[in-house]
Structure 1
Amino acid sequence: MKNKKPPYEITNTIIDSVAEIAELVGRLTSTNQLSSNPTLCRSNRIRTIHGSLAIEQNTLSLEQVTAVLNGKHVLAPPKDIAEVKNAYEIYERLDELDPYSVDDLLTAHGIMTRELVDESGMFRTRPVGVVDQEGRVLHFGTLPQYVPDLVMELLDWVKNSDVHILIRSCVFHYEFELIHPFADGNGRVGRLWHTLLLSKWNPAFAWLPVESIIHDRQQEYYAAINASNDAGESTVFIEFMLSAIKASLIDAINARDDVSDGAMDKATMRWKQIEKFLETHPYIMNADVRALCGVSAATANRILASLVAESKLVKYREGGHWGYKLLEQ
C-alpha cells in the first residue's frame, strides 16, 4: 500500500490549468508586491479565514471577523468567535508547519478546534458518515482503526510523487476529506493543508485567499466532491480546485495592478479597491473599508462620506447596520 497512487486522471483541462496557474504565479511574484504589502496580506488572511469558516456555517460576517481579529467586542455565538481566533492562530503559524508531518497535522487540528471538540488534536475514535447540507449521506468515512495509516500513506505519496504539486495538493485535499480523519474540523484543516502545500511551492500562496473563492463557489465545491465520490476518483475535484486557484490568482494580480500604478493618488486607489469589492458584494461597510485600505474606523468613515458626497456611493440601512452601495447611474 505504501505510496500507492490515489485514483485520478490527468486531463487536458488539468494540464491547461497548471500551465495557466504557473504563468499567473510568475506574474504575481515578479514584483513581490503581495508578500511585501502587510495591509494586503492581512486583508487576504482575514478573507481566507472568513471564507473557510463560512463554508462550515460559521455565522460571522467579514466585518465581524475583522472586528474580532482587531480585538473588538462582537455580539456573536462564542463558538463562532473561538473558531475565528483559532483559525487565525494556525494560519499565522503556517510557515512553521511541515506539510508531510502527521504530528504537525495533529497539532494544526488541535489549534483549529481547541476547546471546540472533544477529540481535538487527535484522529477520531468513532465511525462517521459525511452528510451534505440537505442531510443526505455522501459517504461513510474510513473506519477509525485505519485512519492513521491511511493519512500517513497519503502524506508519503504527496511528498514522494513526481506529479506537479498543484495536482498533488488537490488530490490530497480530496483524499483527506474522503478519509475524514477527525471527528470535526476536516474541511477547515483540509483547506489549510492545501494552502500549506502550495505555500511550500511558492510562498505567495500563504497570502492568497483561495478559501474565499471556494466560499463564493460553495455549491460547485460540494458538487465536485459529490461527482468525484460517484466516479470513485478525484479528477472532477482537481479540475474545480485548479479553477478556484486560478480565479484567486487573477483577483490578486488585478488588486496588485490597481495598487501599483504609481500615478494613482491615494483617494483613487481606495476608490478602485472599494469599487472592485462591490463587484462581488451587494454593499460595503466600515469594517470592509478598514480591511481593504488598512485604515482606522474614523478614516474609513471619512472615505465613505467623501464617496457619498461625490455621488459614487449611497448610504442605506441593512439589517440594523449602515451599508453603502453603488449609486445607480
Structure 2
Amino acid sequence: MISNEIEGVVSTRKEITELINIEKPKEYKKFYGMVKKYEDIFFQEKELTPISDASKLRELYNDILLVDIQRDNPDNIPDGVIFRKEIVNVVSSTKTIHRGLYPESKIIEAMNSALSILNDNSLPYIVRAAVFYYFFGYIHPFYDGNGRLSRYISSYYLSKILDPIAALRLSIACKNRQKDYYEAFKTTNDVRNKGDITYFVLQFLDILKTGLKDYLDDLTDKVDQYHYYQKKQSQLDLENSSKTILETVIDYTLFYLEPITLNKLVELTHLSKSTVSNHLNRLEKDGLVEKTKHGKNCLFHFKKNSL
C-alpha cells in the first residue's frame, strides 16, 4: 500500500487484506499480482531465485504490474522487445529531472549489467541491493511501475539476509524519508558527481536503517502495551472464556491495527459462535470492547482507555 502511495497510486488496507485472504479470484482483481509476489517474500514458501537477465525482469513485471497498468493506462504498456521503445522523462512539478536511457538496446544492455551486479556474490547483499535500486531508477526501463517494481526487487533480495518483515519495511522507510529518498537520486545524478554511486548507497542504507529502527521502536512499544494490558485484564473478575476473548481482541487491536470479526474470534479462540457472542456482549457492556458495523459484519476492537 505504501509502495503504491509513493507513486501516487491509491490502494487501501481493505483492498490489500481482501487480496491476501483469497487464494485466487474468479476474475483478476487490481493489485493481485503484487500482493501475491509480496506474500512469497513473507512466507518464503518458494525458494528465492535470482533475476538473471532482462527477459526475466520483464516476466516479473508481467506477473506484478502488467494487468493493472493495462487497465489504468494502456498507453503505458511496454511497447519494445522487452522494455519501452520511446523516450521517457521523469517529471517533478512540470520540470524534467531525469531522462531514462534510450534507445531500448541501451536499456537492455544497462539492465543486464545492473542485474549482474545484483547477482554478484562477491558483494554484500545489502550493498548490491542499493546499487541495483539506483541503476533501476536511472535506467527507467518502463513507462510506468519502475518505483514499485524496484522496491519489490530490493525487498525480495534483502529478505535473503533480513527477516522478511524487516525487508518489507523498505517502502515504509522510503515513504517516511521521501525527501531524502528523492534527494539521493538527484545528488547522484548530478553531473558534478561524476557517476560516483557512493552517496546513494550510503543514503539507501541509512534510510533502511532508520526504517528498521522505527519498526523496532514501534514493535517494542506494542509489546510493552500488550504486557501492560495483559496484566490489567488478568486482575479483572472475568470468566475464562471472557478472558480468552478479551486477550484475543487486545492482540488484534495492537498488532493487526484493525478490528476483529466474530468469525475470526471463533476461529482463534476455538469457542462456539454463540459462546463468543454472549461473552462479547458482556465485555461490551463492561466497556472493555467496542462494536462497530461494516456492511453485514460486526467488528470488535479493544477500548484502550478502559483499563
Q: What's the TM-score once normalised by structure 2's chain length?
A: 0.63
Deviation for aligned residue 1:226: 1.9
Unmatched runs of 5 consecutive residues or more in structure 2: 71-76, 189-198, 235-242
The answer as to whether partners of 2:173 and 2:211 remain within 8 angstroms in 1 is no
State the match for 2:187 in structure 1: 231
RMSD: 4.6
CA distance in 2, matches of 1:251, 1:194: 23
SS of match in other structure, 1:200: coil
Q: 1:139 to 1:295 in 2, by over 3 A?
A: farther
Query: Partners of 1:196 and 1:107 in 2: how far apart?
Result: 15
CA 1:223 to 1:314, structure 2 compared with 1: closer, same or farther past 3 Å? same
Amino acid at match of 2:14: E
1:140-180 deviation line (CA, Å, top 9, x unaligned): 22224321122211221232264432232233223322322
Offset, 1:322 = 7.9
Alignment of 1:158-169 (within 5 A): 158-160=118-120, 162-169=122-129
C-alpha change, 1:311 and 1:189, in structure 2 (3 Å) is same
Q: Aligned residue for 1:172?
A: 132
Q: Go from structure 1 to structure 2 and tell me whether the alpha carbon gap of 1:271 and 1:190 turns closer, same or farther (over 3 Å shift).
A: same
1:201 aligns with 2:161: yes
Structure showing greater Rg: 2
CA distance 1:312–1:159, change in 2 (3 Å): same
SS in 1 for 2:98: strand
Local SS of the residue matching 1:86: helix
* Aligned equivalents of 2:161, 2:120: Cα separation in 1: 14
3-state SS of paired residue (2:90): strand
Which residue pairs with 2:240 in the alignment?
A: none
Is the counterpart of residue 241 in structure 1 residue 188 in structure 2? no
Q: Residue 287 of structure 2 corresponds to which residue in structure 1? A: 311
Distance of aligned partners of 1:217 and 1:189 in 2 relative to their CA distance in 1, 3 Å threshold: closer
Q: Is the 8 A contact 2:133 2:154 kept in 1?
A: yes
User: Of 242, 247, 254, which residue of structure 2 is paired with 1:276?
Assistant: 254
Identity level (%) = 19
Q: Which moved more, 1:263-272 or 1:211-220?
A: 263-272
1:218 matched to 2:175? The reply is yes
Alignment of 1:248-259 (within 5 A): 248=215
- Separation of aligned partners in 2, 1:306 and 1:277: 24
- Which of 76, 86, 89 aligns to 2:36? It is 89
Following the alignment from structure 1 to structure 2, what is the Cα–Cα distance between the partners of residues 127 and 242? 35
| Distance of 1:129 and 1:294 partners within structure 2 | 51
CA shift, 1:53, in A, is 3.2
Aligned residues: 260
Q: Which secondary structure state, in structure 1, belongs to the residue aligned with residue 153 of structure 2? A: helix
**One-letter code of the match for 2:58?**
L
1:246 shift after superposition: 4.4
Higher relative contact order, chain-length normalized (CA < 8 Å, sep 6+): 1
**Matching of residues 284-303 of structure 1 within 5 Å:** 284-286=258-260
Q: Residue 30 of structure 2 aligns to a residue in which SS?
A: helix
Match for 1:171: what amino acid? Answer: V
| Cα pair 2:52 2:116 within 8 Å, conserved | no
| Counterpart-to-counterpart distance in 1, 2:268 and 2:11 | 20
What one-letter code is carried by the residue in structure 2 that aligns with 1:172? Answer: F
Which of these residues, 99, 116, 124, is aligned with residue 50 of structure 2?
A: 99
Unaligned runs of 5+ in 1: 1-49
Structure-2 change in CA distance of 1:308 and 1:151 (3 Å):
farther
Specify the SS of the correspondent of 1:112.
Answer: helix
Alpha-carbon separation, structure 1, partners of 2:147 and 2:282 = 41
Cα offset, 1:109, TM superposition: 0.5
TM-score using structure 1 length: 0.60
SS of residue matched to 1:131: strand
In 2, Cα distance between equivalents of 1:295 and 1:143: 58
Q: Distance in 2 between matches of 1:137 and 1:219?
A: 24
